[in-house]
Structure 1
Amino acid sequence: MVMHNNGLFITGTDTGVGKTVITAGLLGALRRRGTNAIAIKPIQSGGILRENQLISEDAYFYGAVTDLPYTSRELNPICLQPSLAPAVAAEIEGVTLNLETMLDHFLKISAEHQLTLVEGAGGLMVPLVSTGVTVADLAVRMNLPLLVVARPNLGTINHTCLTVAYAKARGLKVAGIIINMYDHHNSGVAERTNPGLIETMTGVPILGLVPMVEGLTVEGENPQPGDLITLIENYVDVDQLLKTLNHEIF
């Protein structure tokens, strides 16, 4: 099945690089400019119990940043409690996963919105349904271009270039790279030179160097976005990203 290409799949070079922050920030920036955009987390492992309901803190954060209400079934249809790779978490909980459920949900949501941001789990090689079905398989089946979120410091060249190379080998179009948690005032030599080297070595544009957001918290009962949307607008070339996606929604 070929999906409609009205979305963007957001992955990371590793866990903890800030995919959720970038996803929520982009969502807020798009909605602020009038785009009917939404973000979804097809599967969350490491869900937390709140008022006897298992929720995705990642998807909940989308609502903290924007005017979207947190509706678990819409923003995050599958939530698992163990903080492990989804395939392992599902096995522990006795839950049967399949790509078709995630794809059907994406089709439904994307049909109702101009642009759907899909946040993956960890990196592309994270086992999603089994060791043979990974996050990359979901991105391929959705037929979405990829946005790679990377960290700024030593080691990121290898992780980012490997992620892009694998994505291209799987036939995925890589729309761009965003380097998150970038210190614009006290960066070392590695941080200053990494973006240019990554762009040259991958042939993929660096679309933003996003700094740490003062006061931002994703986790907990009262997540705080700080000035995330404004920072995304100031430090990410959203117009170039949309042009790359062939969307004329300015």
Structure 2
Amino acid sequence: MSIIVVTGTNTDIGKTVVTAAVAALARAQGRRVVVLKPAQTGVGPGEDGDAQVAAALAGADAVELARYPEPLAPATAARRAGLAPVGPRDVADAARKLATEYDLVLVEGAGGLLVRLDGAGGTLADAARLLTAPVLVVAAPALGTLNSVQLTAEALRARGLEALGVVIGCWPDRPGLAERCNVGELAEMAGAPLLGAVPEGSGGLAAPRFRELAGRWLAPVLGGEWDAARFEAESAPDAVAGPSGPDTATAVAG
């Protein structure tokens, strides 16, 4: 895979940190990696956006196509700022060009799959369709996530897009009953494998420590060593000890 589109089931669920972890593992394999952010919102001039944060954690490069000051959906933020929006074709053209220079291009969306990029209703899903690229879904583990994951999966299937898998973006150190129960159903709702669980707070780690631990959080298909079956067994509501053990505790503590 030379291009992967990363989407979330919502905003603020760890999408940027998951993108960074995927990038870090690809970099560890010696691959040239760039994080492409089509539209960054809610960040001022001179501040690091999502692409810059992910790239710094992973040791990768970052490209941002547009930036809008207000923390809104890209289409709305562009309109209110009086700036040109970034449409799906702009995203696809940029990703294809970067794919001639890099071994892996990670296209990180804004919020969910169908958040509007422009006034014509273009979305990240439209960009993925133009690219025929697989989509990695980042989900929260908490109550309500199963519905969001299934809706995202249905939207992908309706457009003929491949769901690469689902990653839990912010696994808590002390998961509650809802989180534990949801783990066993996420893959079914997504119609794609569970490919990882990134501990909550991992984005606050120093970059060297982040890169050292990233392989513990993601499955082999993404370059890591994380085992879905083991994680699901340890997460089960009746399990004696949950997966908030050595790996998670170490990651959060740094």
In the superposition, the TM-score normalised over structure 2's length comes to: 0.80
State whether structure 2 residue 83 is matched by structure 1 residue 95: yes
> In 2, Cα distance between the equivalents of 1:133 and 1:195?
32
Which residue type is aligned with residue 240 of structure 1? V
Matched, 1:67 2:59: yes
Aligned position for 1:191? 179
Report whether the alignment pairs 1:107 with 2:96: yes
Cα distance in 2 for partners of 1:139, 1:153 equals 27
Greater helix content: 2
Deviations 1:95-150 (A, max 9, x none): 22333332221111111111111101110111111262122212211211000000
Secondary structure of the residue that 1:197 maps to in structure 2?
helix
Matched ranges for 1:197-208 at <5 A = 197-208=185-196
TM-score after normalising by structure 1? 0.81
1:80 and 2:72 equivalent?
no
Distance of aligned partners of 1:144 and 1:96 in 2 relative to their CA distance in 1, 3 Å threshold: same
Unaligned runs of 5+ in 2: 224-254
Supply the RMSD in Å over aligned alpha carbons: 2.2
User: In structure 2, what is the equivalent of residue 231 of structure 1?
Assistant: 213
1:245 equivalent in structure 2: none
Runs of 4+ with deviation above 6 angstroms: none
Is residue 33–residue 61 contact of structure 2 (8 Å, CA) maintained in 1? Answer: no
CA deviations on 1:26-55 (whole Å, 9 max, x unpaired) are: 1112101212222111221122222xxxx5
Distance 1:153 1:171, change over 3 A: same
- Structure 1 residues 65, 200: closer, same or farther in 2, change over 3 A? same
- Distance in 1 (CA, whole Å) between partners of 2:95 and 2:48 is 17
Relative to 1, partners in 2 of residues 1:18 and 1:226: Cα closer, same or farther, differing over 3 Å?
A: farther
Contact 2:7 2:15 survives alignment (8 Å): yes
- Per-residue deviation at 1:94? 1.8
| Corresponding position: 1:178 with 2:175 | no
User: Which ranges in structure 1 are unaligned for 5 or more consecutive residues?
Assistant: 218-223, 243-250
* Distance change in 2, residues 1:137/1:215 (3 Å): closer
Q: CA deviation at 1:14?
A: 0.2
Match of 1:137 among 115, 126, 137: 126
Match of 2:18 among 13, 18, 22: 22
Aligned counterpart, 1:57:
49
Identity %: 36
Contact 2:34/2:61 (CA < 8 Å) preserved in 1? no
Paired position in structure 2 for 1:165: 154
1:74-108 superposed Cα distances (whole Å, 9 cap, x missing partner): x1121111211111111112222333332221111
Does the alignment pair 1:240 with 2:221? yes
Which of these residues, 4, 7, 17, is aligned with residue 3 of structure 2? 7
User: Which AA in structure 1 matches 2:21?
Assistant: G
- Partner in structure 2 of residue 248 of structure 1: none
Q: Could you tell me which residue of structure 1 aligns to residue 36 of structure 2?
A: 40
